[in-house]
Structure 1
Amino acid sequence: MSSVSGVRAAVEAIASRQEELFDLLGHLVSYPTVSPPARNSEQAQSLIVKELQGLGFAIDRWPVFPGDDNVVGTLKGSASATANSLIINGHIDVAEVGDDAGWTYPPFALTKGKDGRWYGRGVADMKGGIAASLFAIKMLREHGVELRGDLLFQSVIGEEAGEAGTLAAIERGYQADYAVVVDTSDLHMQGQGGVITGWITIESPTTLHDGMRAKTIHAGGRVKGASAIEKMMKVIASLQDLERHWAVMKAYPGFPAGSNTINPAVIEGGRHAAFIADQCALWITVHFYPNESYEEIIREVEDHVLRAAAADVWLRDNPPTFRWGGRSMIEERGEIFPSLELDHDHPGLAALQSAYEQQVKQAPTVDMSVTVTDAGWFAHAGIPAVLFGPGELSHAHAVDESIDPEQLVLFAQIMAQFIADWCNTDKEGKA
């Protein structure tokens, strides 16, 4: 069987044997890998390992947190030095369910609804993308399609709680010529903005009794003191000024004006009603555009806040301090999702568009996600990437999360075609 006919047969088999795909998805959904609380992915990742080993992948499995392992499978190509390599990336954790009394169908059992859709937590975000990608690879392998370039399959932990599963895989040295993050995109090919959280803290060098307040604010008291909570109000005002400035001065195609926001999400401060607050911490969430890095955003926010602090007689000597990001919202109360600016001229995106057009008979939608995913970590590491997966964002994290089975099958067919095309194309300059 020729390579072309093998790919065609694999694509056709995805449709004719789709019940095997749904069966795999059902097994994945049955594992409640809810995050938070997380630390519960061992069984689901063991199933991924079993599937990858059955397809001939070499396995690297390691703990990111106790009870939450990353899994990376590598299928070496026959011409790794000259043919394109590919990373397929997905997260095994799913969103919280809470009280499941509002669910029509059990969240951890794949159920066919009366409307023909599949229901269960994670079907859209994003065990559907993982299962369909694995099934696409399985059909290529069974139909004898040889890959000249390396294929890496990453099942990572922690995306739902801002945990750095994908970053950990990158730090472990995994690279490729292109990466597809198969998270929820309704088969759109997308870039994304970024998000970073940060803590801004104000601390007084002295702790004063409430009875000293009159001496700190009335003329003649001659006590240089201040409430950290009240001073934080000046910081919040400065952040609002910066947010308004960004809304006027910054823009990016595909985003409504003012999408780059600074949210003062949580404030903590003071010790007791009998004391002047000597400490206050503000937790902020900052959204930024695809052409901005979180490092640039950190510099902009810190510069603006410190300039505002320098105009205050007390903050000038007791300036705010900053702690940005983190590798886990659970462990560190902090997260980073870097942005992803699509390279519309990259041959990887062109190959994915071509595979889509071959299966759908029309051009794909290429746009921007309104949310964030792990895709930005690849861009931050210099690995060209795209967000492309099945499922609608309106169903992700929702009660009665569901997915269209026809879209799931179509996604698997597109991925089979793309994998075969991309991993059998010479790297640029290697022809």
Structure 2
Amino acid sequence: MEQKKVKGGALQFVLFIGVVITILLMAFLLLSHTQSLFKKKVDVYKTLVKTVNVGFLLNKEKDELNFKKYTADHGIKYTIIDSLWGVYPLKRVEAKKGKQRFRKSGLLGYYWENRPAVYLEDKNRPLVLAGDTKLVGDIFLPSRGIKRGNINGSSYNKELLVYGREYASDSVLPFMDNLLLEKLQQLALQKATLQGDFIEFEEGQKLTNSFYNPLKIISGENIELRSVSITGHIVIRASKQIVVHENAILKDVILIAPNITLNNNCHGNFQMFSNEKIKVGNNVSLNYPSSVVYVQNELKPLEPNLGIPIHIGNGTVINGSFFIDVSEKNKSDYLPEVKLIEGATLNGEIYCNGIVETWGRINGTAYVQGFVTMTGGSIYQNHLYNTEVNASNLADEFLGFSYNGNNDKRVVKWLY
């Protein structure tokens, strides 16, 4: 029987097809395995993200117990670091599983659903409105209430005294967290010990420091911030004075000095701590979240010839929080700690256990011991004249201080 020969080319073709099929099968298996690994990694990453987000807003002991159980069940290791960055709680949360990790850093604040417009301490003196004044929102008033008045021949010109509800105030302001109060006092009085890396300051300096890195500190006697760009986890501290010029770019930093001056047309977002004077020029714009903190040095009581400790200029807009702390023995019934001149605007809150004089506009809340209006050589105690305090104009997203133990903590800003 004659045997047929198979051509070599056909055999090679069969082998080639076999190799191709084998490679395709291996590729399919590899792709399937890769997809399975990728899905597992994505699932782990999603779990880490959820862990960090939940960890950021833990407020109650029950929440913490549930959080610990959740992380244990999923084999996640986590770290939560709480501190303060100026007036705002600073939180860092990191979650790890195997070689994967996810972390976030952010500033926190406290939410008030029904934020009042004014909380005025009850010092047995009524609140008097004159001229083109308007109060919008809930008001906490002394026992002697609120009434119409007249300054420089200008009587109160609105139909209602309060465009909101009226409540009785106490003889003291709503209390704040004692730990926060202590920290703010230490910073403003320069009694806080700063832990970080001290760096040389140079005019025209450009510097950025992540909040995941150790603190950087610029220190000196008199510091002029001119043609600089400074961003992030940085404290600028002077033993005498800091002056911020129009061409300085400051973002998320903290300034500490007895005297701080912002020249006209400055802009940015930062926090200021002083124990003598903060002078903010005209047409300054400070974005949220900024803050102004003044703590009076007990050894240097207020003196009329030294001027008002905090002066906010015309056309200036500050978005954030004011905190003013005056020692009991140095308080005055008529010398204001803060003056907002006509055309100045605060979008946020002011907490002052002393006296406030405002000719501008407060969109938010004023917690004060008293108001004063000084005009025509006369002093009008607990008078508001040609000004507006309007709680309804403040954005619902605004987060500020915690009062009376409020613990509704939310994220003000994510950091970097």
TM over 0.5: no
Of Structure 1 and Structure 2, the greater helix share is in 1
* Pairwise TM-score range, normalised by the shorter structure: under 0.3
Of Structure 1 and Structure 2, the greater strand share is in 2
